[in-house]
């Protein structure tokens, strides 16, 4: 499979050669394939956002390399090609909306690229449909709910025909309903349109939905694997200051109390089934 993002020995230092120099990333090696859904978890300050900002050249490596679809991010003349391939969605929806109507906001990116207007219309229609916001095209974005705003932001990236979406804690400020909307939208884009997803989150029940979970600590990749492989290491994750899904936590404590349960439980459903079989 095509290696969409390839990071080799990546290092990033804030304020290099200054008194307040700070190494945010050291020696990261990570490959993300086209069509993958990768979740990145780690404590605050572990380097998740710094790493994500390398994926569309908002930050350039101070050491090592970051390639997007084979292009080095520090080739300045390829900057726009890179940003079209990788779209970013941030935590605060209010910081990324520029226009006064939903459809204009989504059209902003392609308009700036000089895409012909018929083509823009098609792209906006498709993007709105993909995030389930067709009815809101004439609405003012600032009057939408948080979840809807995030879906507009995602649609904006889709209108750029992006191959990959990098979402940096897109649900942190949302209520349960909004979180569900955004997660469902992302899952759908991954499944239906084959868009590569890089999803940074502190909600472990969201990370469970990914194909692969990457665990970061102090600017390095500490571990990676399937959600099941990662989240069954309850003790290790807790020591790292991270959570596991509730069912994994409860199963772990039940096993410690001597109840015989399989070691790989991570969902409520699995726990219910296992407990039913144990009596």
Least Cβ distance, residue 257 to other proteins (angstroms): 6
Residues 202-221 that bind other proteins (CB under 8 A): 202, 204-205
Residue 200 within binding range of other proteins, rule CB under 8 A: no
Give the range of 13-21, 31-39, 122-130, 159-167 binding other proteins by CB under 8 A: 13-21
Q: Which of 13, 60, 172, 229 binds other proteins (CB under 8 A)?
A: 172
Residue 44 CB, shortest distance to other proteins, in Å, is 3
Residue 52: CB atoms within 10 Å = 22
Q: Which of 148, 29, 151, 158 is nearest to 85 (CA)?
A: 158
Helices 146-158 and 117-130, axial angle in degrees (round to 10): 140
Give the count of residues interacting with other proteins (CB under 8 A). Answer: 46
Residue 17 binds to other proteins (criterion: CB under 8 A): no
CA atoms of 162 and 83, how far apart (whole Å): 8
Q: Measure the CA–CA gap between 107 and 247, rounded to whole angstroms.
A: 42
Structure tokens at 25: 């990333």
Q: Cβ–Cβ contacts within 10 Å for residue 275, how many? A: 15
Tell me if 224 sits within 8 A of 230, measured CB to CB: yes
Out of 23, 99, 173, 222, which residue is the one contacting other proteins (CB under 8 A)? Answer: 173
Per-residue mark of binding to other proteins, 83-122 (x: CB under 8 A): --------xx------------------------------
Shortest gap between Cβ of 105 and other proteins (angstroms)? 19
Question: Any contact of residue 138 with other proteins (CB under 8 A)?
Answer: no
DSSP string for residues in 20-50: T-EEEEEEEEEEEETT-EEEEEE-TTSSHHH
Candidate ranges 67-75, 125-133, 186-194, 200-208; the one touching other proteins (CB under 8 A): 200-208
Q: What residues from 225 to 244 belong to the interface with other proteins (CB under 8 A)? A: 241-243
**Close Cβ partners of 13 (under 8 Å, ≥ 6 residues apart):** 21, 22, 23, 24, 62, 63
Whole-angstrom Cα distance, residue 57 to residue 41? 21
1, 17, 20, 76: which one binds other proteins (CB under 8 A): 20
Say whether residue 275 binds other proteins (CB under 8 A).
Answer: yes
Cα–Cα distance measured from residue 166 to residue 157, given in angstroms and rounded to the nearest whole number: 10
Based on CB atoms, which residue is closest to other proteins, 120 or 240?
240
* Binding footprint of other proteins on the chain (CB under 8 A): 14-15, 20, 22, 42-46, 49, 91-92, 145-147, 169, 172-178, 202, 204-205, 241-243, 246-247, 249-250, 253-254, 257, 259, 268-269, 271-273, 275-276, 278-279
């Amino acid at each position: 499979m095509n290696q969409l993002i390839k990071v080799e020995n990546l290092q990033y230092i804030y304020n290099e050669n200054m008194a307040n120099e700070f190494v945010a990333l050291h020696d990261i090696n990570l490959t993300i394939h086209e069509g993958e859904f990768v979740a990145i978890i780690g404590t605050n300050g572990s380097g998740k956002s710094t790493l994500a900002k390398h994926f569309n050249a908002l930050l350039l490596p101070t050491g090592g390399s970051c390639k997007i679809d084979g292009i080095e991010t520090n080739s300045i003349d390829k900057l726009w090609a890179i940003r079209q391939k990788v779209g970013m969605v941030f935590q605060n929806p209010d910081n990324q909306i520029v226009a006064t109507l939903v459809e204009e906001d989504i059209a902003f990116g392609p308009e700036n690229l000089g895409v012909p207007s018929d083509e823009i219309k098609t792209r906006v229609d498709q993007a709105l449909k993909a995030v389930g916001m067709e009815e809101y095209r004439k609405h003012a974005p600032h009057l939408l709910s948080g979840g809807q705003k995030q879906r507009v932001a995602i649609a904006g990236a889709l209108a750029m025909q992006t191959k990959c979406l990098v979402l940096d804690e897109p649900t942190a400020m949302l209520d349960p309903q909004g979180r569900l909307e955004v997660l469902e939208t992302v899952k759908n884009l991954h499944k239906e349109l084959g868009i590569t997803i890089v999803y940074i989150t502190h909600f472990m029940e969201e990370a469970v939905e990914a194909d692969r979970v990457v665990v970061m600590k102090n600017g390095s990749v500490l571990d990676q694997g399937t959600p099941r492989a990662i989240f069954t290491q309850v003790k290790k994750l807790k020591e790292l200051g991270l959570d596991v899904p509730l069912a994994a936590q409860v199963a772990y404590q039940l096993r410690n109390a001597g109840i015989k349960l399989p070691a790989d439980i991570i969902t409520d459903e699995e726990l219910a089934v296992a407990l039913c079989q144990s009596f």
